[in-house]
Amino acid sequence: MPVRVKKMRQDKKQQLLSVEGLSIGFATEEGPIRVVEDISFAVASGETLGLVGESGCGKSVTAQTLMRLLPSPPARIEAGRIVFEGTDLAQAGEARMRKIRGNELAMIFQEPMTSLNPTMTIGAQIGEALLLHRGLGAGQARPKVLEMLTQVGIGRPEKRFAQYPHELSGGLRQRVMIAMALICNPRLLIADEPTTALDVTIQAQILELMKALQRDSGIAILLITHDLGVVEEMCDHVVVMYAGRIAEAAPAATLFARPRHPYTAGLLAASPRNARRGATLTTIPGTVPPPGKRGQGCSFADRCARALERCRRDVPPLMDHDKVGSDRPNLASTIDSNNLARNLREKPVSAFSHPAPGDEHRVACWNPVP
Amino acid sequence: MVLYLARRLSASALILVGVTIVTFCLTFLIPADPVAMIAGRNSTPEMREQIRIQLGLDKPLVEQYVSYAQRLARGDFGTSYARKSEVGPLIASRLPATLLLMLGAIIAELLIGIPAGLYAASRRGETGDKVAMTLSFLTVSTPQFVLGLSLLYFFAYLLGWFPLSGYGSLSHLILPAVTLGLAGGGWYSRMMRSSMIEILRQDYIRTARAKGMSERRVMLVHALRNAILPVVAMIGLDVGIFMSGVVVVENVFGWPGIGQLMWQAIQSLDIPVIMGVTTVAALFIVAGNLLADLVAPLIDPRIRLR
Ligand SMILES: Nc1ncnc2c1ncn2[C@@H]1O[C@H](COP(=O)(O)OP(=O)(O)O)[C@@H](O)[C@H]1O
Ligand code: SF4
Ligand SMILES: [Mg+2]
């Protein structure tokens, strides 16, 4: 049963997607592991939210959970809600999800070379969503597909329509993926490292294309990347993830001007004059602890120069340090994660951390950079 | 495509030449003296010598092979010792029945193997999967004469649904075709299952799911085409596997094909017939392989490039 959620509060901008206290685990042979822990963020209509973090921090798991694409078992949503246009996707049944996927909520993936079916023509693969969601026949879909191919900057659409993926370059294939994702005019596009596998000039073209499409259609984008340059160029808001949690979340300009989390600050300091495209998040000594080895306190403590004694004991809550006292701290984050699922059921809706990005600058740190 | 075809064709031709050499050597491995068989018990040494010269057995081996190959190329398979008739027309008269049986067996194994494999893959790790895989193991490991006789006993003798033996109608065909194809069906179900499971892990399957497709559609539209390739590639190869099964099945069901002919020839050590059937069988096996190679690019466009 999809769960309708009451509007929690008046938002400045209309929130399209709001993730609240989401925790995701996997059943593995060594027992259950928590991969994503209590994350909250929101994407407003028409904006681009950047989700950044080192490889393995849980970005793809989060993205695929929003689409409910991870097979369960082994994946499991252990707590939290994914409110998309008033429906809690975390609770939605498979039939409801099928109506949303590829229709209102679409996704493109990191690997354009393997993400297309090698035995089907480009045209057939793009048109498929129209057949599914709009009930069109193949003949009716064709002109729309050709138009979409032109929109994503693919020349000679008639020829491309009949080609197979192996006949196209990586950049063209990613354009095809974008065409495929946008064919039903979704409200939100989740782009999981859409340019990571492409070379630099093609990367720039694809990012330009995404910006142009956003200007024309007003689509919101959740852009996942580990490239801070891409974030600076593309995003309105940024969420920085570290080892399955949110370290810092802020409007992009604020974050780049004044990073508060030692992790973010380290990343930005490592590249002179903020980050340019190509500056990846691998410049801090040490490595990200894998799920299950994240310790009990702040999982960045082993790599952090500002660590206090408390840091190794308690998980820092995500809160806006500039507004402490005037605003409610992030309640969901302070709840012991083991009790989170129960708390979610018992707490009234208003007890949730509000995930609105707004102008807030939220940091999960006991001793933030001043 | 032309180059691909040319390469495959020349490889096939080479194999066929190899087969004729092996068949030719067979003559010397079979513990029977053709001269004695033709001449009969009461022949004189002079008569035997004359027959030996007639058959060309006094010539050097290489020369014998060349004249054998020349005759083969003209379609002359020699004369049966036991039946005193031409081997070529004899095989030709039996071939349609065998081809029909093999066609039936291919249909049977696909109808059994592909749905069973799809089912098992969709129920991976569940009871349905385990039952299907146990059954497939049984079909693969049961000897064909046991299988044939069991089917004959239950469906023809006890239930009377099918005739006991013979040739001429669809109901005659079903039991032998199923017997011949069941083992292949078991194989196919396993191949189909593992191929499906492999394909369902691919990124483009995730893309298909991200479009909002039902799992059923994902399997039938996106996964099946890719998963069926290694299975279809095997159909041609089946012809070779069937060639040995045909001997058993045709004899169990009294099916008048080249398998039955072969069995009779072996019992009477009728070397020209044995050689003829072997050569024809080899021709089919090579043709089957060629067919398998030609079908693959039609299904997977990437192969066209190679
Ligand atoms: N099916 C799975 N079973 C167990 N662990 C998984 C599975 N999928 C992902 N993980 C773990 O989740 C973590 C986050 O992965 P992912 O979201 O892919 O990271 P990234 O931020 O690079 O996209 C990794 O440590 C990975 O080992
Ligand atoms: S909580 Fe402590 S260890 Fe963690 S980032 Fe802040 S200062 Fe460093
Ligand atoms: Mg990833």
**CB B80 within 8 Å of CB B159:** no
Residue extents of the structural domains in chain A: 2-104+184-363
Residue A25 has a pLDDT of 92
List pLDDT tens digits, range B29-38: 766 677 777 7
Q: Which residues of B touch A123 (CB under 8 A)?
A: none
Split at pLDDT 50, 70, 90, the class of A273 is: very low
Please choose, from the candidates A353, A341, A288, A345, the residue with its C-alpha nearest in 3D space to the C-alpha of residue A317: A353
Spell out the alpha helix ranges (H) of B123-219: 127-141, 144-151, 170-200, 203-210, 215-217
Kindly indicate the confidence band of residue A165, based on its pLDDT and cuts at 50, 70 and 90: very high
Give residue-wise pLDDT tens across range A203-236. 888 898 889 889 888 899 999 998 888 898 899 9
Our answer on whether the CB atom of A266 is closer than 6 Å to any ligand 2 atom is: no
In 3D space, the residue among A317, A214, A294, A260 whose CA is nearest the CA of residue A35 turns out to be A294
Q: Which among B163, B205, B174, B27 is positioned nearest to B111, based on CA atoms?
A: B174
Q: Can you tell me whether residue A28 is helix, strand or coil?
A: strand
Name the pTM for this structure: 0.76
Nearest CB to B207 within list A98, A116, A164: A116
Contacting residues of A for B204, CB less than 8 Å apart: 114-118
pLDDT at B56 over 50: yes
The candidate with the shortest Cα–Cα distance to B132, out of B189, B55, B208, is B189
Q: What pLDDT is stored for residue B163 in this prediction?
A: 83
Instruction: For residue A67, report the distance from its CA to the centre of ligand 3, in Å.
Output: 14
Q: Does position A148 have pLDDT exceeding 50, yes or no?
A: yes
Of the candidates B24, B81, B49, the residue with the CA atom closest to the CA atom of residue B266: B81
Whether the per-residue pLDDT at B39 is higher than 80: the answer is: no
Is the C-beta atom of A303 inside 6 A of ligand 2? no
CA A81, CA A163: separation in Å to the nearest integer?
41
- Position with higher pLDDT, B302 vs B48: B48
Domains in chain B: boundaries: 2-87, 94-299
Whether A308 is in the pocket of ligand 2, judged by its Cβ within 6 Å, is yes
Task: Please give, rounded to a whole number of angstroms, the shortest distance from the CA of B202 to a CA of chain A.
Answer: 7
pLDDT value at residue A331: 43
Given a contact cutoff of 8 angstroms between Cβ atoms, the answer to whether B30 and B81 are in contact is no
CB B139 within 8 A of CB B69: no
Percent of chain B with pLDDT over 70: 95
Q: Is the pLDDT of residue B226 over 50?
A: yes
Share of chain B above pLDDT 90, in %: 25
**Number of helices and strands in chain A (H, E):** 12, 12
C-alpha torsion sign, points A153, A154, A158, A162: negative
pLDDT interval class at B305 (50, 70, 90): very low
Q: CA nearest A99: which of A111, A79, A85, A117?
A: A85
State the Cα torsion A227-A229-A233-A239 to the nearest 10°.
50
- Distance separating alpha carbons of residues A259 and B306, to the nearest angstrom: 54
Most confident of A156-160, A322-326, B86-90, B138-142: A156-160
Q: Measured between beta carbons, which residues in chain A are less than 8 angstroms from residue B220?
A: none
Instruction: Tell me which DSSP letter residue A155 carries.
Output: S
Residue B262 CA to residue B246 CA, distance in Å, equals: 10
Q: Is the pLDDT of residue A347 over 60?
A: no
Q: Whose CA is nearest to atom 17 of ligand 1?
A: A58
What confidence category does residue A341 fall into, taking pLDDT thresholds of 50, 70 and 90? very low
A32 lines ligand 1 (CB under 6 A): no
Confidence of residue A274 (pLDDT cuts 50, 70, 90): very low
CA distance B238 to B113: 13
Q: What is the pLDDT of residues A86-116, one digit of tens each?
A: 899 999 889 999 999 999 999 999 888 899 9
- The 10s digit of each residue's pLDDT in B233-274 is 778 888 878 888 898 999 888 889 999 999 998 888 888 888
The alpha carbon of B135 is separated from its chain's Cα centroid by a whole number of angstroms, namely 23
Distance CA A219, CA A209 (A): 13
In contact, B117 and B133? CB cutoff 8 Å: no
Instruction: Return the residue matching tokens 């993936």.
Output: A109
Which residue numbers of A have CB closer than 8 Å to B's CBs?
64, 67, 69, 97-103, 106-107, 109, 111, 114-120, 128-129, 132-133, 164, 166, 177, 180-181
- Check residue B304 and give its pLDDT: 53
Picking from A64, A114, A129, the nearest residue to B204 by CB comes out as A114
Low-confidence winner among A115-124, A183-192, A302-311, B19-28 (lowest mean pLDDT): B19-28
Number of neighbours of residue A14 by Cβ within 10 angstroms: 10
Q: Which of A248-257, B122-131, B235-244, B250-259 has the lowest mean pLDDT?
A: B235-244
- Residue B36 has what pLDDT? 73
- Mention every residue, 6+ apart, whose C-beta is less than 8 A from residue B296: B229, B232, B233, B303
Fold topology of B94-299: MetI-like fold (1.10.3720)
Average pLDDT, rounded, for chain A: 82
Average pLDDT, chain B: 85
Contact assessment for residue A305 and residue A262, using Cβ atoms and an 8 Å cutoff: yes
Distance CA B149, CA B144 (A): 8
Identify the pLDDT of residue B235.
82
**Cβ distance A23 to A34 under 8 Å?**
yes
Q: Give yes or no for residue B126 having a pLDDT over 60.
A: yes
pLDDT computed for residue B165 by the predictor = 79
Ligand 1 atom closest to the Cα of residue A55 is: 22
Which ligand is closest to the CA of A56, given by its number?
1
Specify whether domain A2-104+184-363 bears CATH 3.40.50.300. Answer: yes
Q: What is the 3-state secondary structure (H, E, C) of A37-103?
A: EEEEEEEECCCEEEEECCCCCCHHHHHHHHCCCCCCCCEEEEEEEEEECCEECCCCCHHHHHHHECC
Confidence of residue A290 (pLDDT cuts 50, 70, 90): confident
Question: What average pLDDT does this structure show over A240-246?
Answer: 92
Cα gap A59→A52, rounded to integer Å: 8
Between the CA of A177 and the centroid of ligand 1 the distance, in Å, is 23
pLDDT at B80: 82
**CA angle (B80 as vertex; B74, B82 as ends), nearest 5:** 180
> Residue A335 has what pLDDT?
42
pLDDT recorded at residue A18:
93
- C-alpha–C-alpha distance, residues A188 and B157, integer Å: 66
CB of residue A60 inside a 6 A radius of ligand 1: yes
For residue B162, the one-letter residue type is F
- Rounded Cα distance between A83 and A72, Å, is 20
Contact A118 B210 (CB under 8 A): no
